[in-house]
Structure 1
């Protein structure tokens, strides 16, 4: 049989119709010349199809088998990944609706974890503690050379040398190479969220009182995530998780019968994990967007409540940079937005502004948002009688944070050290006046109709402690010399009132639940300047004043009772405990010596940067090594004006 490949091709269809000689090629020369489509003969097409079907199937068996093996290997890898994901993610309810198309997270490396000591500047409490241990008058005070005091100073030195502790920085968390499918699978089921939103409709909802968000925005976000038309972003999923976590937290504090403790705890843990995962992603930290600003703001406030000041500084700084890129600090940008959106943006910006400014005095670092760049108008105070006290209080504390930031900028910043004594006196008088006016205005605020009055009182209860602590820090910055005698009468009086209010306010909070007491401990021991304790310590050892020692003891007892409630409160307590032990030993020795408080007290002190003198009884106590634990350790050295 003749092979079909040897059959001579026939003339094309056009040449046969026209009855002319064909070159028997496709296309043929006649069709090319005539500029028409050359059509192959029907019989040739049939022969070619038959020939193609007659090729033995085993010709490509090797290629097919290779492809089959590759597909099998891919299926096995996909199965392994799916099983691993199931083992890490808790089982989600079947009623949770997942988006068919979802945005992807970008895997990133975890950022460098911030050392709190590297953040702290001249106004921080640790720097104040360093000053209290670094004065050269110690070498001539009676009782300082006793073995008990030597041990205490040695212990304090070791504590100062430890630049970090578990309470200073957040636990290490790696940015997981996760997809938003993982975030969605961790969300509570839709039917539970519907019940949750119905329960949170009241005007006294913790979410709307504490954060710049309204329930309409929450409902819209729920529809967007649970019934998606387009891809759901990582920012939206993280924000929804953060919002739901706050509502669930309020149910934990104020239980409702339709929600069991088990389901509240279960879904709250899922939402918190989602929030922690989301805020560590590249998108939220690097892409400016309203949702990203809001979720960072909420995370920063949560860190502030827990006393994690290093994490708060990082989150609030990131949110502040997003606001500056988006133009939220400029009035003409916000005024061009629709009214509802403009109101949300105003509240969000000022919340981030507050969080950014509130770390300035505590850390001794300038803020990300500078006042000279801001011209956005304040948000409108609501006319709702129950909500009005909350809005007014928030705005007053924004002003309070601005005053505290100005204390650092004008009295404790590196540039401020060039100011003359006369200029510093004018600044101290000016800021003291502003702060006193603020304090008077605070007590004129009518809070009788505030929603959730008990929560309002618990939130703003430690105002007096913060006020007197800040006032002490202002007066303490009047003179940058190294003498103990820089403690002026206004500074000493403010310090005493600060410690007295510390004890009295704690007596009220000790009757409340553990969560409220922990809130008090964090605000007073982490975010309030503890300069009053340092001032009373210095005054006590200089004058052997037992009344000062009693005040120190009362304040230390409060710290001892509350330090275990928050990890961040432990180190301030340890600092103060060592200082009190030194003062107590000094007073005890002076009493045994018949009231002789000094041997040779030289009040013309050398610079703190000079090495210890020969009469210093602790030759093994390297004060320069202690100072190395802090940046700018010469802040008390005199400078030319």
Structure 2
């Protein structure tokens, strides 16, 4: 799809180049113009140019009217026909009656440079360029053909509309979805609070624009246009996190309103919208925002696979809308545009991290992405947070490259030398990343206590990612080894885990559940298994004690969700097994070289050794844990890990 050229730029171009390309104008709205006849002679060229410029002025005026008409009648998704302070009803209307709120940009569908539509438009413009300079009798017929071609290319609506995402016509008789809105004065109080004092939530990745939140609330509560379902959903998602933060921090707003009730109400209303077909299937800015907020909420509720579902839908929307291409933003420097950048990169970070943790291919391919990072804030309190956002993007890219090059089905088939080069290269990238992390100055960072907690989290992310990278050398069809560097990275990762938990546990604003949702969900389980193997290979009491300390932290988070209960049971089982094997001097898997501190693994490990399983059966309490769920199979999980299947600290699948 060719890039849109502004009227001012087009006029300037045509004034400088007498034989410039004719502007691509929808033929359905503007009649074709005659090409110069053969009777035109060179002395009349100036007159011909003057006539063309006069025609262009008239065409530009008509084009402006057409564009204004399109803005007012742009199609979108199912909408709210009215939104009063008493109720907000989401009723589905006929696609032809839908319109897009003026403050949001249109949802034009992206098509890459190899698409038929883009190549057709380029061919049409090339023909127009030649036609304007022609003076033969055939030029008139050619010009008419070009205008007809333009009609076919440019009058086709390339914007996302409801009817493009349904098999059948959407009727007004579909069920109506209604939500009970929050009091208007509460919403106004929230907006005034964040404008005056800011918010921790707005220092994260997803959104930092207070004006955009204010506009969303205004559009829903005081509509002058139909309100898309995704817009209402995103509003409740934003209010949920803002009110939850006020409740968590014990702010004065809690003395004026029953925040616990309204947080639950926002969550209920958000769930109604996020679980509709339209938000999941129709590409639009507000739906991408809603789905991104849904990922955060799913993580808070220890539902990583639900988060992955939302992330896949949001990633698809981003790719369809072109959020991954810089040219989308070149002519749009609005705050909405900057939020699109943040949404895209937030989804990128989550998706690449999940790709490594769950052993799945990412929805985003780096070869398709050229969009720049979100700009750094000029505010010295906000800038360190933005710098961390950039670091998160860079780390996510490395995590994606680790999976693609080493753990994917293709990566596992690579020759040992190629794998070694890939590992060495990414290890250097991680080292530079670590250096840049140390150079971030958080002296004046807003919310210093939360910033300090986040700093320890980055240490966990670094060492757990490094462990996953170095451990990959052990995965091949001919066996491999776990190096001393991998063992050391695993040990440092677990020590950082304990340090981070201690800070969360002693914090007066964050809970053990927050630690589980935001630390365990995002870091790898690999360091625990690596140190487990090292403990039984070296019979190290220090390693055994470190494993037990990690298990103690997990015991405090087991109530945060089913996956964390499962993780605790698994780690507790491995820790007790390691101590029993050391006590009875049982051999480990593979051959350990004490001189180099490396463990050579066998070619294939389809299950745990028999003597390990026998030890498990005799461990007190383990039998109950193993039978807690029918699918809780430690042997199978270990075999998966040995064969190259990553396991996250959110609980292996």
State whether TM-score is above 0.5: yes
Give distance in 2, aligned partners of 1:344 and 1:105.
30
Give distance in 2, aligned partners of 1:263 and 1:496.
46
Paired residue for 2:414? 419
Question: What SS does the corresponding residue of 1:510 show, helix, strand or coil?
Answer: helix
Q: Give runs of aligned pairs for residues 220-619 of structure 1, distance below 5 A.
A: 220-260=215-255, 263-480=258-475, 486-513=481-508, 515-590=510-585, 605=602, 607-609=604-606
Q: Is the 8 A contact 2:471 2:486 kept in 1?
A: yes
Flag structure 2 segments of 5+ consecutive residues without an equivalent: 1-82, 96-172, 593-599, 618-625, 646-653
Stretch deviating more after TM superposition (467-476 or 289-298): 467-476
Paired residue for 1:89? none
Paired residue for 1:182? 178
Kindly tell me: are residues 605 and 624 of structure 1, through their superposed partners in 2, closer, same or farther at Cα, counting changes over 3 Å? farther
* CA apart distance, 1:339: 3.2
Give distance in 2, aligned partners of 1:228 and 1:399.
40
Q: Is the 8 A contact 1:180 1:237 kept in 2?
A: no
Give distance in 1, aligned partners of 2:582 and 2:408.
35
Give distance in 2, aligned partners of 1:567 and 1:284.
27
Q: Is the 8 A contact 1:346 1:378 kept in 2?
A: yes
Give distance in 2, aligned partners of 1:422 and 1:599.
24
Give distance in 1, aligned partners of 2:451 and 2:611.
56
2:189 to 183, 195, 211: 195
Paired residue for 1:71? none
TM-score w.r.t. the length of structure 2 is: 0.65
Q: Is the 8 A contact 1:187 1:267 kept in 2?
A: no
* CA apart distance, 1:97: 4.8
Stretch deviating more after TM superposition (513-522 or 454-463): 513-522
Higher relative contact order (CA 8 A, sep 6+): 1
Q: Is the 8 A contact 2:607 2:635 kept in 1?
A: no
Q: Is the 8 A contact 2:84 2:221 kept in 1?
A: no
Kindly tell me: are residues 216 and 611 of structure 1, through their superposed partners in 2, closer, same or farther at Cα, counting changes over 3 Å? closer
Kindly tell me: are residues 424 and 230 of structure 1, through their superposed partners in 2, closer, same or farther at Cα, counting changes over 3 Å? same
* CA apart distance, 1:181: 5.5
Paired residue for 1:166? none
Give distance in 2, aligned partners of 1:389 and 1:486.
39
Give distance in 2, aligned partners of 1:387 and 1:277.
33
Kindly tell me: are residues 455 and 624 of structure 1, through their superposed partners in 2, closer, same or farther at Cα, counting changes over 3 Å? closer
Stretch deviating more after TM superposition (205-214 or 481-490): 481-490
Q: Is the 8 A contact 2:607 2:638 kept in 1?
A: no
* CA apart distance, 1:518: 2.4
Give RMSD over aligned pairs.
3.7
Q: Matched residue pairs, number?
A: 467
Kindly tell me: are residues 266 and 396 of structure 1, through their superposed partners in 2, closer, same or farther at Cα, counting changes over 3 Å? same
Give distance in 2, aligned partners of 1:431 and 1:269.
44
- Per-residue displacement from partner, 1:525-551 (whole Å, max 9, x unpaired)? 332112221112112222322222122
When Rg is computed on C-alpha atoms for both structures, the one with the higher figure is 1
Question: What SS does the corresponding residue of 1:335 show, helix, strand or coil?
Answer: coil
Stretch deviating more after TM superposition (558-567 or 312-321): 558-567
Q: Give runs of aligned pairs for residues 15-30 of structure 1, distance below 5 A.
A: none
- Per-residue displacement from partner, 1:547-584 (whole Å, max 9, x unpaired)? 22122112222222333344432222111111111111
TM-score w.r.t. the length of structure 1 is: 0.66
Kindly tell me: are residues 616 and 208 of structure 1, through their superposed partners in 2, closer, same or farther at Cα, counting changes over 3 Å? closer
